[in-house]
Amino acid sequence: MGTNYYRDIDKIKSFLEKNGEKKDIPIETFAKAMAIVFGMKRKTAGKWIKNFVDMNFITMNDRKINFI
């Protein structure tokens, strides 16, 4: 069975909050969190960040990410 990244976005949010990141998260930090939580490469994480923006789970302004 594969992981449903859309359903598991809360795992990323929880991981980032435990590490003190709640608002205006640098894109590099978000990608690193995705790599750690989901075990994906940074290039793949970058593609998923775009998907999350397209699906309105996160917003990205000036390379800073916020959860909606």
**Domain ranges in the chain?**
9-67
CA neighbours closer than 13 Å in the CB half-sphere of residue 62: 1
Which residue type does 31 have?
A: A
Which residue type does 64 have?
A: K
Confidence band, pLDDT 50/70/90 cuts, at residue 7: confident
Confidence band, pLDDT 50/70/90 cuts, at residue 24: very high
pLDDT at residue 68 is higher than 80: yes
What angle is formed at CA 67 by the lines to CA 4 and CA 19, rounded to 5 degrees? 90
Confidence band, pLDDT 50/70/90 cuts, at residue 5: confident
Confidence band, pLDDT 50/70/90 cuts, at residue 2: low
- The pTM is what? 0.86
- Kindly indicate whether the domain formed by 9-67 is annotated with CATH number 1.10.3470: no
Per residue, the 3-state secondary structure of 1-54, as one string, reads CCCCCCCCHHHHHHHHHHCCCCCCEEHHHHHHHHHHHHCCCHHHHHHHHHHHHH
